[in-house]
Amino acid sequence: MRKELFSLTTVCLASLFLSIQVTSAEEQVDIDKNWILVSLHLHTMDNPGYHHSPFNPNPPISYSVEGFHDIAAQARSAGVKGLVFTDHHSVGIGFDPVFSQTKDLILVLGMEWTSKDGHMNLVRYHPQSPRDILLPPDPSERQPTEPYAYPSVISEVQRRGGIAIINHPESPNHRWPENTFRADAVEVYNGPCSHISFWQRRLKESIKITAVGGSDYHSWDVFKKRPISPQRNSVVRPVNLVWTGGERSPEAILDGIRQGRVVVLSSPAAPRIFLRVDRNLDDKFEDGREGDTLRFSRGRKAQVSMQIRVVDGAEGVLELIDRGDVFKTLPVTQSEFVHELNYTVHPDPNGFLYNFVRAQVRRDGELAISNPIYLESAP
């Protein structure tokens, strides 16, 4: 997804109507077939020493097979199908036989790029060897990160067919600049920590970037020779529901993330939430879904009908959010719940319009966050 600039003064008026329906069996089949659980941002080992020594001359200690097995076992027991491995400055696990021998999970290889002023996951850039790693100018994280470093490595990853995901952008120790540098995605949750406000600020600036959740699970404790305490962290908190259209491959996971077809879940126990669009107002919600951009003639108001479907969210609270933040809050009254929204955006005085609608649902301490549907002027 790419940054596109529009006037920041678009006027929005949203009008609403509510109807409640039951999710059909057909729609449940669609969820089961097309969406899979994917855990992002996984470290096979917990070794701070390696973190600061990316040129370590002993590559085997840059990853842990024991940690890999620990992560795979947690994923299997939670129903997670896809795993994205991102050791610090290392792609070693992808070249270990255990990686190619594991057939029952979709394994995606990446690495975490760790600079003083920001971390990101560089995913599936097709490294040619364990030493084919992409480093920041100062991997020791002592020197301030030069501004050129971000876009140069992001464009290199994308040129090689991969994606770049900004990690924990509001982390006090590794704060990311107020810019996405055209990265593909950003963590809105890193473990239990919210980074939603960074994402919401970018959305308000008309920057499209996919929200994902990263567990940042560090598995193998190299000193105690066992996985780190499960109380401290988990492979599936948070986890992502990614639309793969029935495909089961690393590329399908990347495509789902690129297209913004991701629902961030605080854990597999969270409710599910899905967005659909009826653009031509024929009462069929077949004209778009989360991550899609709807373009309208310049100078005219945009009117669109959206369906927000919440599954397993009974007694939860649904929030609808646009450029003006939360514009509607309503209770989820049954386990299969549909809200229909009539949404109108008026152009600014120059004829441009830009807005987005996203939804999130909270229930029993769990949270599910949809990616937005974007509305904007045609070029």
Residues in contact with Zn ion by the rule CB under 5 A: 112, 119, 167, 216
Strand partners of residue 264 = 240, 369
For Zn ion, which is the closer residue by CB, 216 or 366?
216
Smallest gap from residue 86 Cβ to Zn ion (A): 6
- DSSP sequence for 43-97: EEEE-HHHHT-TT-S-GGGGS-HHHHHHHHHHHHHHT--EEEEEEET--GGGGSH
Smallest gap from residue 197 Cβ to Zn ion (A): 18
For Zn ion, which is the closer residue by CB, 119 or 358?
119
Q: Which residues contact 365 (CB under 8 A, 6 or more apart)?
A: 266
Integer Cα distance of 45 and 289 in angstroms: 37
Smallest gap from residue 281 Cβ to Zn ion (A): 45
For Zn ion, which is the closer residue by CB, 51 or 362?
51
Smallest gap from residue 246 Cβ to Zn ion (A): 31
For Zn ion, which is the closer residue by CB, 130 or 191?
191
- DSSP sequence for 185-206: EEEEEETTEE-HHHHHHHHHTT
Smallest gap from residue 190 Cβ to Zn ion (A): 8
For Zn ion, which is the closer residue by CB, 114 or 377?
114
Measure Cα distances from 190 to 99, 180, 215, 341, 367 in Å. 25, 17, 6, 31, 13
Residue 116's Cα: distance from chain center in Å? 23
Residue 378's Cα: distance from chain center in Å? 26
For Zn ion, which is the closer residue by CB, 70 or 319?
70
Smallest gap from residue 365 Cβ to Zn ion (A): 24
Smallest gap from residue 233 Cβ to Zn ion (A): 10
Integer Cα distance of 239 and 190 in angstroms: 10
For Zn ion, which is the closer residue by CB, 119 or 362?
119
Integer Cα distance of 19 and 108 in angstroms: 41
Smallest gap from residue 122 Cβ to Zn ion (A): 12
For Zn ion, which is the closer residue by CB, 89 or 358?
89
Q: Which residue is nearest to Zn ion (CB)?
A: 119
Backbone angles phi, psi at 291, to 5 degrees: 90, -20
Q: Are 235 and 84 in contact (CB under 8 A)?
A: no
Q: Are 42 and 73 in contact (CB under 8 A)?
A: no
For Zn ion, which is the closer residue by CB, 56 or 171?
171
Integer Cα distance of 86 and 112 in angstroms: 5
In terms of Cβ atoms closer than 10 Å to its own Cβ (0-12, 13-18, 19+), residue 188 is buried
For Zn ion, which is the closer residue by CB, 216 or 336?
216
Smallest gap from residue 27 Cβ to Zn ion (A): 36
Give the Cβ contact number of residue 343 at 10 Å: 22
Smallest gap from residue 48 Cβ to Zn ion (A): 11
289 DSSP 8-state letter? B
Backbone angles phi, psi at 93, to 5 degrees: -60, -30
